[in-house]
Structure 1
């Protein structure tokens, strides 16, 4: 009985090997053998899940034409999508001469923005926030899964947002800018205490316009304010643990058309592959993991203290 089972399996492997060496003969594989081969392949090497997004195209619409359209300002979802696609807030959206609109309004905001939904290289990082300078988009991940993404307006040419790895430290629901007392920053989360750089709610005109900070829409600023972690301090001068890692990357083409204008010609022009995210993180991965572990140890120690 054992030999009967062993012989067909052996023959199947031999036949599979023979046909795999000659592509021209693959159409002649007997149906029964082909079915067996497919079964083995599916069990040994299942298809890898890809970060696939629906195909959405974009086109330009004159503001006067768009305003006259029946569905122009109907529904908050439309506004959320148009704000994200054009990197503006609603007030500035209404000021644009032409608006970049999608062919499909039915998807979630993340489907219209360039960051991938999953990044395997981030699976060991509990929380991390990315700011892409060229696309003017941020993304927050938990263990490699995208939890929030949206538009941002970063530092203007003369006051560029510094690039590299930072960590969130202190936060405030409302504070005044150290640069100008008239600038009220809501849902502010600082990432560089000495330079005064952070992310917060503020006007989004649709291009890098800040004094080095990362501007956000109100809903996004509120989410990150609650989601990201503050540093842990021993006293006013000693830090016990770092907050959430924040990675700023890329270069903005100042003086050239805004990068998202390319979407009307190529809807995938700004896509950021998972491999690219991995490459940005790789030089900082050890530091991120070490500080993450340090934070866990401090938190555990504090919770154990009566």
Structure 2
């Protein structure tokens, strides 16, 4: 009897050891998910899971209730989510409002936290006209996003891979001398298109430039790199500005669609493909890398 018991104990130990080895082998052979040419589809652990609803400020009383219900800090977040500034809120306005409100706009980003396809690019500005928002990435990691107002229907911001050229803390508009553009950063030299501070009405409204909040315009002004020139010849491109997507004037505003679908503002596969194409163009352009001698091509309209 004692012999049989000892055999059973030995057999049990062998089975346990084998099970542990199989578990270790499984763990060793699991391959972690990478983002070399995709985005993280699951919500990041540090991103809030929120639900959105539509607040229709039908009357002046509704507007007063809104201003009383939410603090200045909370209203600032709501304004950013609706691509407006405080002067554009009045009775009759529809606003999308999250059920949890923080002062960190990154908690509500419509952009992926990591974008592997641009991880080799030191810095990248992505401007989505479809959702009227910008994103700043450093080696594929999102560091900042915010609302924009891009070019209106008759003067849209040109899609494409552009580069940061020159900048000015204060620029007078070439369209109207009365329009002062703080923290201007040009990314289309000959067309005179760039980012700068100006009013955000909650839809595309500019003459092709990309309007931003003051703090966002100042951040890009200090963060992005300008071109490098040798005389009037372009030696090296500045930070890439990738403009993608089309704003659909016939549909409900994309951020208002969040009340029905949390994915309403996410990248479309077609937009991801456009970014992949931009990356290929970036990598094929020698002006994005150190040059031993100036690259041919005169710059005739440096401002």
Please tell me the TM-score bracket, short chain as reference: 0.7 to 0.9
Work out which of the residue numbers 276, 280, 289 in structure 2 matches 1:286.
280
Question: Which whole-Å CA distance do the structure 1 matches of 2:155 and 2:67 have between them?
Answer: 41
Q: How does 1:1-306 map to 2 (within 5 A)?
A: 36-48=21-33, 50=40, 51-52=42-43, 53-63=47-57, 64-65=61-62, 67-68=64-65, 72-76=69-73, 78-94=74-90, 97-106=93-102, 108-235=104-231, 237-272=232-267, 278-291=272-285, 294-297=288-291
Question: Which whole-Å CA distance do the structure 1 matches of 2:144 and 2:273 have between them?
Answer: 21
Q: Evaluate the alpha carbon distance shift between residue 103 and residue 298 of structure 1 in structure 2; reply closer, same or farther with a 3 A threshold.
A: farther
- The farther-off stretch of 30-39 and 283-292 is 30-39
Question: Which whole-Å CA distance do the structure 1 matches of 2:17 and 2:75 have between them?
Answer: 55
Is the 8 Å Cα contact of residues 125 and 289 (structure 1) preserved in structure 2?
A: no
Q: Evaluate the alpha carbon distance shift between residue 86 and residue 280 of structure 1 in structure 2; reply closer, same or farther with a 3 A threshold.
A: same
The 3-state SS of whatever aligns with 2:225 is: coil
Deviation at 1:161, TM superposition (A): 0.8
Q: Evaluate the alpha carbon distance shift between residue 67 and residue 54 of structure 1 in structure 2; reply closer, same or farther with a 3 A threshold.
A: same
Long gaps (5+) in structure 2: 1-14, 35-39, 294-303
The 3-state SS of whatever aligns with 2:148 is: strand
Q: Evaluate the alpha carbon distance shift between residue 107 and residue 55 of structure 1 in structure 2; reply closer, same or farther with a 3 A threshold.
A: farther
Question: Which whole-Å CA distance do the structure 1 matches of 2:289 and 2:219 have between them?
Answer: 21
**What does the per-residue CA deviation read over 1:72-116, in whole Å, with 9 as the maximum and x for residues that have no partner?**
44242x133212210111221356623211011137312323110
Deviation at 1:173, TM superposition (A): 0.5
**What does the per-residue CA deviation read over 1:181-210, in whole Å, with 9 as the maximum and x for residues that have no partner?**
111111000111111111111000000011
Is the 8 Å Cα contact of residues 235 and 291 (structure 2) preserved in structure 1?
A: no
Q: Evaluate the alpha carbon distance shift between residue 194 and residue 112 of structure 1 in structure 2; reply closer, same or farther with a 3 A threshold.
A: same
If the length of structure 2 is used for normalisation, what is the TM-score? Answer: 0.79
Q: Evaluate the alpha carbon distance shift between residue 185 and residue 107 of structure 1 in structure 2; reply closer, same or farther with a 3 A threshold.
A: closer
Aligned to 1:11: none
Long gaps (5+) in structure 1: 1-29, 300-306
- The farther-off stretch of 79-88 and 289-298 is 289-298
